[in-house]
Amino acid sequence: MKGAFPVEKFKDVRTPFYYYDTKVLRETLNTVNKEAAKYEKFSVHYAVKANANHKVLSIIRESGLGADCVSGGEIRAAVKAGIPANKIVFAGVGKADWEINLGLEYGIFCFNVESIPELEIINELAGVQGKVANVAFRINPNVGAHTHANITTGLAENKFGISMGDMDKVIDVALTMSNIKFVGLHFHIGSQILDMSDFVALCNRVNELQEKLFARQIIVEHINVGGGLGIDYKHPNRQSIPDFAAYFATYAQHLKLRPRQTVHFELGRAIVGQCGSLISRVLYVKQGTNKQFAVLDAGMTDLIRPALYQAFHKIENISSEEPVEAYDVVGPICESSDVFGKAIDLNKVKRGDLIALRSAGAYGEIMASTYNCRELPQGYTSEEFI
């Protein structure tokens, strides 16, 4: 939808850059809060790894969401944006000592622990600080998800989590530690999931594990089911806000909770994915033997998902209303995989046209690199172009 972009105001801005539509972001956050509020035991944390742009994080903080962090840097970014430390959870299979100490110093809500060695270090470091650390154990439920193999995290062969067979052992170890408080279970089966049956399968597995713990007279305070809800990359205008109603209702219907238990969600892509676009200029239109190329000034250093995951992003020429032609849309990086799309129908392209790569608010700017000694892309909100 070309009308959604202030094209005239873009013309004097150095490209490539990320453009965040704050109207879409705020509408998405309002929908999340409205749908989650239907269930009093539901609490939502934003997965900072999807996008840590300070302006975006500040808007998310205004909505009242907590933060799911996977590094000390993300904890700092969340705190800098004003997200209260007691709403921050810290996950990740390889937490460094300084990162654990940082979480303890801030007094974060919970560490999502993935191994006994990690648990032992948290207990040791918490003891040095004279604190008790809340921990939830990330259990690998061996539940597959209908998504790309590189973003599936809940199978037995994945590096994440503690195996179901080791759950009792890990809990027993935790209960002997004086600087650890075992408060919950954590799960996450993957990303870009659109089939609700995957979440039903997770609920069923959580119910089984809860029954096993109940037989031991153990009832945890918190169940963290991760995130994973996907977005519609092919039709960003038609469905700019994911179906949060169906997502939360799935858990409300299928997850069997004990009294006073709360459910925590860690949504990232679903919150920020559709609000962001990568804006790039056409450097050249190159005629090949059997095809033509639109060569952009943005490349895989700015948006790596197509090269890394063969991910699809809708591509639009927001400068042109001329008839459509087919192009291979490529970047300037010295890699054959630096391709955004092949045989893409675009309004006729010429040098200097502005191209929008849509649905790039998640895992776009945050994954940018300086490969080829390129500068990192800047990020701007729509409010900066008013």
Between the alpha carbon of residue 363 and those of residues 1, 53, 124, 379, the distances in Å are 22, 11, 34, 13
pTM for the model: 0.94
Burial of 326 (0-12, 13-18, 19+ CB in 10 A): exposed
Evaluate whether 180 touches 116 at the Cβ level (below 8 Å).
Answer: no
Q: Read out DSSP for 337-365? A: T-EEEEEEEEE---TT-EEEE-S-TTTTG
Q: Read out DSSP for 6-55? A: -HHHHTTS-SSEEEE-HHHHHHHHHHHHHHHTTSTTEEEEEEGGG---HH
Residue 99's pLDDT band (boundaries 50, 70, 90)? very high
Evaluate whether 293 touches 285 at the Cβ level (below 8 Å).
Answer: yes
- Give residue-wise pLDDT tens across range 171-189: 999 999 999 999 999 999 9
Work out whether strand 292-296 and strand 276-287 pair parallel, antiparallel, or are unpaired. antiparallel
Can you give the pLDDT at residue 144? 59
Ranges of H-type helices in 94-236 = 97-106, 116-129, 167-175, 196-214
The tokens of 14 are what? 């150095």
Can you give the pLDDT at residue 157? 53
Can you give the pLDDT at residue 241? 97
Question: To the nearest whole percent, how much of the chain has pLDDT over 90?
Answer: 91
Burial of 323 (0-12, 13-18, 19+ CB in 10 A): exposed
The tokens of 58 are what? 């500040």
Q: Do domains 2-17+274-385 and 22-272 have the same CATH topology?
A: no
Strand, coil or helix: 308:
helix
Burial of 120 (0-12, 13-18, 19+ CB in 10 A): middle
Spatial neighbors of 56 by CB under 8 A, at least 6 apart, are: 20, 25, 272, 275, 361, 379, 381
Residue 17 CA to residue 156 CA, distance in Å, equals 39
Using the predicted structure, report yes or no on whether residue 150 has a pLDDT greater than 60.
Answer: no
Parse the chain into domains and list their residue ranges: 2-17+274-385, 22-272
The tokens of 169 are what? 């052992």
Radius of gyration, alpha carbons of the chain: 22
Can you give the pLDDT at residue 142? 78
Residue 153's pLDDT band (boundaries 50, 70, 90)? very low
- Give residue-wise pLDDT tens across range 247-283: 999 999 999 999 999 999 999 999 999 999 999 999 9
> Which is the CATH superfamily of the domain at 22-272?
Alanine racemase (3.20.20.10)
Which architecture, in CATH terms, is 2-17+274-385? Beta Barrel (2.40)
Mean pLDDT of 37-50: 97
Using the predicted structure, report yes or no on whether residue 26 has a pLDDT greater than 80.
Answer: yes
C-alpha angle with apex 250: 247 to 253, nearest 5 degrees? Answer: 150
Using the predicted structure, report yes or no on whether residue 3 has a pLDDT greater than 80.
Answer: no
Residue 313 CA to residue 324 CA, distance in Å, equals 18
Residue 190 CA to residue 229 CA, distance in Å, equals 9
Residue 298 CA to residue 280 CA, distance in Å, equals 6
Higher pLDDT, 374 or 2: 374
Mean pLDDT of 322-326: 97
Per the listing, tokens 């659109």 go with 194
Residue 79's pLDDT band (boundaries 50, 70, 90)? very high
Residue 159's pLDDT band (boundaries 50, 70, 90)? low
Closest among 340, 273, 328 to 304, alpha carbons compared: 340
- Backbone angles phi and psi of 368, in degrees to 5: -65, 150
Handedness of CA 236, 28, 276, 88 (dihedral sign): negative
